Amino acid sequence: MKTTFGRQFGITVLILLLALLLLGGAFRLLTAEYLKNNTNSQLLTDAAAIAELTAAYSADDRLYDELLQINLSLVAQISGSDVVVCDASGIVVLCSDRDILCEHLGMVMDETYLERVFALGSDQSSGRIEGLYDEVRYLASVPVVSRNTGANIGVVMVSVPVEDTMVLLEGIADIQVTVSLLVILIAVVVMSVSTRNQCQPLKEMAQAAREFGHGNLKARVRTGGKNTEEVDELAIAFNNMAASLEKSEYQRQEFVANVSHELKTPMTTIGGYVDGILDGTIPPERHRYYMAIVSDETKRLSRLVRSMLDISRLQDSGSIPEEKKTRFDVEETLGQVLISFEQQINSKQLDVNVDIPEHPTYTRADADAITQVIYNLIDNAVKFCAEGGELGLKIREGGGKIYISVSNQGQTIPADELPLVFDRFHKTDKSRTRNRDGWGLGLYIVKTIVCSHGENISVSSREGKTEFTFTLPLVN
């Protein structure tokens, strides 16, 4: 399996090599072209100057002169080139070589080449000069024009070996290779340190994931420091996920503990009374009384199971499908639910305060689900309302929304408890001895239904008045 370092190293080295090769090749071509053009230009300039000098020393149109020979040798030394002078027939009569018996003297140049030089007035080329030099050369030729007759009396040829230019290019190539190796070495060192720093958070995440697998839900990855922005975002996302998993695990354990606790009491009651009836501890005349208690406890267990199934169904659906939504009057639904609590309201002698618009208030939602929301809120309000207290129901419109509020007078919920009232199995009464009909699931179901409609619910409690308010869309 390839590591991140190996992959980045290979890609970086490949890109560096490709860049250096392209850059070196382009620079080599440009340098070679520049040297060629510069050499040809310099040779042509030297040839023209020597042709003028030769014409000046050839007053009687004779090309040979000892003083001219000395000057040619001096020019050749200064310029680093070779100079030969031939007459109009192509026979070499002068050479920049100091040797009097130079092997070039008496050699004959190509007639076609001479004619081209005479016709064009000059010539620049490269290649082998047959009869004069064996190696490939850059050369420039200029005719020598007689100052007496104006006729071409000879040709001056100035040349240098191409190898002299190649020496410079080879030196450039050596420098390029050295610099390329140095750049790659530096890149490898820098990349090693950089990649190690970048991979460290990833290794920490892998280690944290392994710890998660072994049950350590408090493992976290460090953020900030030398992390890049992207790695830091990943680390933060990982930590958020870890915190969410830890919270989910805590809620799962709490859920199991709460369910076990809530099931234990009615199951113990049912088992105790049934055993008492079976073993004769409870006399026959009391059987009916205790069987009624067993029946109530069984119904309580049935309600718990039904509530848990409702929660599971709502969580699986995520959001309410559009096909399940209908247009209905919220005021009518509120009135129907309120009527079903008439007996409980009368038994506690509650004063019901209803504040709703005089016209119908229509919404589009799952009518059965919203009915359950209103039922649970009113049931919760009646249950915790003080004897002879006030039960408030209010509907108002605003901003394209319907605001439905259910309030009651009773014990004020502490501020630190308010954010928890919608949690599963949460009860403000920690002893769980009061309100045995409540499981702490009603408000959780309410919030789940409201949120599945894409709406909001809130709670406030101050000065003995607790109020729940949720929203629904207002439609015509």
**How far, in Å, CA of 106 to CA of 334, rounded?**
128
User: Does residue 442 carry a pLDDT above 50?
Assistant: yes
- Looking at residue 404, its pLDDT comes to 95
**Helix intervals (H) in 58-84:** 66-79
8 Å CB contact between 117 and 123 = yes
Q: Which domains does the chain show, CATH number per domain? A: 4-167 (3.30.450.20), 246-315 (1.10.287.130), 320-473 (3.30.565.10)
Q: Taking the mean position of all CA atoms in its chain, how far away is CA 175?
A: 40
Q: For position 439, what pLDDT does the model report?
A: 44
Q: Per mean pLDDT, which range of 50-64, 208-222, 383-397, 431-445 is the poorest? A: 431-445
pLDDT at residue 92 in the model:
84
Q: How far apart are CA 365 and CA 377, in angstroms?
A: 18
pLDDT at 437: 46
Average pLDDT of 456-460? 92
Residue 430's pLDDT band, with cuts at 50, 70 and 90, is: very low
Confidence of residue 471 (pLDDT cuts 50, 70, 90): very high
d(CA 170, CA 33): 14
> With bands split at pLDDT 50, 70 and 90, how would you rate the model's confidence at 112?
confident
Q: Mean pLDDT throughout 41-57?
A: 86
Helix, coil or strand: residue 97:
coil
Return the structure tokens found at 209.
């994931």
> Other C-beta atoms within 10 Å of 153: how many?
20
- 55-59, 120-124, 307-311: range with lowest mean pLDDT: 307-311
User: Looking at residue 359, what is its pLDDT?
Assistant: 92
Confidence of residue 355 (pLDDT cuts 50, 70, 90): very high
Which of 142, 144, 107 has its CA nearest to residue 124?
142
Confidence band, pLDDT 50/70/90 cuts, at residue 434: very low
Confidence at residue 80, expressed as pLDDT on a 0 to 100 scale? 78
User: What average pLDDT does this structure show over 236-244?
Assistant: 83
Q: How far is CA 5 from CA 82, 196, 319, in A?
A: 58, 7, 45
Mean pLDDT, residues 98-103 taken together: 63
Burial class, 368, CB count within 10 angstroms (exposed 0-12 / middle 13-18 / buried 19+): exposed
Dump pLDDT digits (tens) for 312-337. 666 666 677 788 889 999 999 999 88
Q: How far is CA 324 from CA 52, 333, 370, in A?
A: 107, 17, 12
How many whole angstroms separate alpha carbon 263 and alpha carbon 283?
27
Q: What is the pLDDT of residue 431?
A: 42
Instruction: State the pLDDT at residue 473.
Output: 94
Per-residue tokens: 366: 């799952």
Q: What is the mean pLDDT of residues 217-235?
A: 76
Checking phi first, is residue 90 left (phi over 0); if not, alpha (psi -120 to 50) or beta? Answer: left
